[in-house]
Chains A and B, each alone.
Chain A
Amino acid sequence: MKKLNIVLNETSIINFPFLWKLVKRYKILSISVPLIAAAYSSYTYMGQNTIYSGKVGFKYVNEASNSPSGMIFSMLGEKTSTLDPTEIISYGNSVDFQYKVADELIRSDQFRKLNFNSIGSRKLKTFESMFKACSGNKDCERDKVARLVGQFYSVNMSNDVIDRYSLTVRSLDHNTTDTLVKVVSKAIQNDRLNQIRYFVTSQVKISEELLEKKKKEVDLEMIKGLLDQQAQFKVKIKTANNRLNSIRQHYFGEKSRLNRLETELSQTKKTLAKKNKSTNSELFKVTEAKKLRERVKQLREDIASIELSFENQNQINGSEITKKLKQELKTNERKLASLGDVEKYGVDESFAKGKQNSKATSEHNYNVIKNQFSKTSVEFEKVRTELEKLTKESTELEVQIKEYQPNLELIKLLEQKLVQLRLAESTIVADLVFDNYQSELSSYKKIAKTKMIFVSIFFSCFLLLFIVILRYIFDGRIYDEYELKNNFEDLEIIGNTPDFH
């Protein structure tokens, strides 16, 4: 304990000056420990195997904008299985994948030339000695390769680029590294492709099964019959509608014509009755009034045309003619006014005569049209009734079909989905895209020279410190007055013994 107290220091934890003193005291140890450490480091460094490393980059392109498959899937409204970085990094760790790589390697021409020794192995074995126990058994070889191959590769994520990864292969042989880079990268791509395909295929299968199930649940024949019936109704209704429209047009045309003929006939009858009641003087007045009206009308037209034509040429001549015509107009208007109300005296004689002649024709026409209209009315009513009946039946059918509508919609959707999935299935590509060129193979030692020197120095110092302190603790000898004082605190140090020449 006393010795430990000497070695330790309150401020610097270790009493470095004393430690330096110990180093100088145990010279052989102080020299041999670093020498041993250096020798061991050199031996370790020289004994290391040369490791050949190869690297190939790849990108995870699951985003729709980056991947053709993604884009198609996105357009179709489908989703592919996604990978998170941890899954990608640990991609090669699955036993299943290792077996796939093993299969690829065994199929490769280079298989017998590959070096499956671990990068940390001290004693290297040949291919034959490694697989000697299998005695040519393919399954045994496959198991062994699958067990060994996992240690040679690793997937690392890029720190700088998002979704960028690299496959690094390390082995003790240039050819092995090169082959493994190619085989493993291909295996990853294929495996990923199969995963996506499996995902889509599963969806197709599930959709097919569901569709089949739904189809079984619903009586499609009956629904089809109903739908056909509905379609027939639609055609019938359309035809009836067209017919009704056509009849309706004819019906209303005849009706209008009948009304006109009826009015005309009644008016003729009224005119003829009025004529029979009027005197000769009253008839003259009517005739005179008619003439005057025509003359007034004529004059007005003339005045208007003269005023218009002479407006810019000869205003004086024009105004004179107009003046005369206006005077004549006034005169005629006065005459017409003096005749009084001539309308009460009855109709025009000629008009009445004309009406008398056409009365029979009008009656005949009226009767004809009336008969025709009654026939049309009957037909119109018939078609309208038929249309109403058809519409009613169609509505009932629609209600019946609506009950089956959800199932029908689902079947329809499933069919659409199935088409989409089959389209997607045929366009699948892997979302892990490897670079076309791998980086150049590099060779190095597991522990670099500088690292080894640094570790060696550190280890030497630590070991030296430890051994020197240990040696000091177990060394009972007293080397200086300082130690003497510490060991015998209760005794006085008188001084040094005299020495004689």
Chain B
Amino acid sequence: MAGLKLKFKENQLSSVEKPEESVGQVPEAKVGLPKPELLIAVQVGQPGPSPETTSKDKKRSNKYFYKVSNHHELFKIGSSFYEDYKCGVKSFAVSSTGYQTSQQTSILGLASFFDHKDDLKIAIVSDNLNEGAFKDIVSISKKAKLEIGEGEEPCDYFQFYGHFDFFDLDNLLEISNDESSASYDEVFDNLVDNYDLIFWDVPELHKIKKDSEKYFPVIMKFESLSIIVAQSLSNSKDVKEVQNFFMGYGINLKGLLFDTKQKLKEEEAEEKLKKPWWRIFG
């Protein structure tokens, strides 16, 4: 088994998307598509996503799925987060020492796990929706507007087939920092209240440090923080710095997520950029 086909709403999937039929058949759908960082397999002959999807249509099936290579790890970390959720934690932040893709992948995996586990309204907040793992999903998601403050302009967000909603952190920060708004953290309060579960794709530490006042309301909404440590890349000193920074705000540190693939990915990327040795003078 090359990977786990993680279905959204397994009980509502069409016959085409049943695991026993779908496993190992993904490559057919990939033909002719540019290779994104996160692969989205589209069933041959199926039309693209319907822009008509609403929250009521959530139970409808869709034609997209991710394949997780280390499904047992996802199950393990997902269960850990789920336990926390059951204990009342609903705002999970994921940070790292500069590995945004890894953060996004983790959030996506966890969101999928929760989505698979329960019928929850999940929001993902990130300042990098058009990059990394979110890029492809956001590109096929439906753009919508949400009123998150009284007298405020509605906020744009992206609905992914009723499974998760993607919010751009920069937009939210702009709204919250608007001088006309009554309370600067009202936006985030409403956002948290609107959803059952929120995943925060925490920006890089230097960004936060640079404008900590601006990020303060966001940070204060973190109920649990997980730090991703990239194998062979993350420096313990940097990890400590992240840990100490958020502990300074009184954020509960859930634990560490270990990214074993990041190094390989970076090496592959470097390999692509590298010239062949016979062209060193070229």
A495-B257 contact in complex given A478-B231, A478-B234, A500-B105, C-beta closer than 8 Å: yes
Residues 456-501 of A contacting B (Cβ, < 8 Å): 476-481, 484, 487-488, 491-501
- Residue numbers in A under 8 Å from B38 (CB-CB): 500
Given A494-B254, A496-B70, A498-B73, A477–B232 Cβ distance below 8 Å?
A: yes
Partner of B260, one of A477, A496, A501: A496
B34-66 CB mask vs A (1 if < 8 Å, else 0) is 000011000000000000000000000000001
State A476–B81 Cα separation when bound (angstroms). 29
Q: Which residues of A contact B102 (CB under 8 A)?
A: 497
Nearest B residue to A501, CB-CB = B67
Please state if B68 and A499 are interface contacts (CB–CB under 8 Å). Answer: yes
Number of A-B residue pairs, CB cutoff 8 Å, is 109
What residues on B are CB-neighbors of A492 within 8 Å? 254-256
Residues A484 and B67 in contact, CB atoms below 8 Å apart = no
What is the distance, in angstroms, from B86's C-beta to the closest C-beta of chain A?
A: 16
Point out which of B133, B239, B256 has the most chain A C-beta atoms below 10 A from its C-beta: B256
- The answer to the question of B206 belonging to the interface, with a C-beta cut-off of 8 Å to chain A, is no
Among A477, A479, A481, residue most surrounded by chain B Cβ atoms (within 10 Å): A477
* Cα-based distance from A500 to B136 in the complex (angstroms): 13
The reply to whether B66 and A484 form a contact with Cβ atoms under 8 Å apart is no
CB of B236 within 8 A of CB of A487, answer yes
With the chains together, A484 CA to B231 CA distance in Å? 9
Beta-carbon contacts under 8 Å, A426-484 to B = 476-481, 484
- Say yes or no: B239 contacts A488, CB within 8 Å: yes
CB distance from A67 to the nearest CB of B (A): 80
CB distance from A107 to the nearest CB of B (A): 68
- Chain A residues within 8 Å of B89, by CB: none
Taking residues whose C-beta sits less than 8 angstroms from the other chain, chain A's interface range is: 20 to 34
Please tell me the size bucket of the interface on B.
35 or more
Contact between A497 and B258, CB atoms less than 8 A apart: yes
Q: Given A495-B80, A497-B109, are A478 and B229 also a contact pair (CB < 8 Å)?
A: yes
CB distance from B251 to the nearest CB of A (A): 13
Are A498 and B239 neighbours in the complex by a CB distance under 8 Å?
no
Which residues of the other chain, B, contact A484 by a CB distance below 8 angstroms?
229, 256, 258
Chain B residue contacts of A488, Cβ below 8 A: 236, 239, 243, 256
Q: Report how far A89 CA is from B70 CA in the complex, Å.
A: 77
B13 at the interface (CB under 8 A from A): no
Measured CB to CB, the nearest residue on chain A to B76 is A495
Question: Contact at A479–B231, with CB atoms within 8 Å?
Answer: yes
Compute how far the CA of A478 lies from the CA of B38 in the bound complex, rounded to whole angstroms.
26
- Could you tell me if B77 and A476 are in contact, using CB atoms closer than 8 angstroms? no
In the bound complex, CA of A487 to CA of B97 (Å): 16
Cβ of B74 < 8 Å from any Cβ of A? Answer: yes
CB-defined interface of B216-253 with A at 8 Å, one 1/0 digit per residue?
00000000001111011111111100010000000001
Question: Closest approach, in angstroms, between the C-beta of B225 and any C-beta of chain A?
Answer: 11
Complex: how many Å from CA A479 to CA B106? 19
Contacts A494-B255, A494-B256 given; does A499 touch B69 at CB 8 Å:
yes
B261 contacts the other chain (CB 8 A): yes
Residue of A nearest to B5 (CB): A501
Contact between B80 and A500, CB atoms less than 8 A apart: no
B186 touches A (CB below 8 Å): no
* Residues of A close to B204: CB separation below 8 A: none
Instruction: Point out the residue from B39, B67, B228 that lies within 8 Å of A497, measured CB to CB.
Output: B228
Look across to chain A and name the residue whose beta carbon is closest to the beta carbon of B40.
A500
- CB atoms of A476 and B237 under 8 A apart: yes
Contacts of B19 in A (CB 8 A): none
**Residues in A whose Cβ lies below 8 Å from that of B228:** 497
- The answer, among A476, A479, A497, A500, for a CB contact under 8 Å with B259, is A497
* Chain B contacts to A: CB under 8 angstroms: 2-3, 26, 38-39, 66-71, 73-74, 76-77, 80-81, 102, 105-106, 108-110, 133, 226-229, 231-239, 243, 253-261
**Chain A positions near chain B (C-beta within 8 angstroms):** 476-481, 484, 487-488, 491-501
Beyond A487-B239, A501-B69, 15 additional pairs, beta carbon < 8 A: A478-B235, A488-B239, A488-B243, A493-B258, A494-B80, A495-B73, A495-B257, A496-B258, A496-B259, A497-B77, A498-B74, A500-B38, A500-B109, A501-B2, A501-B26
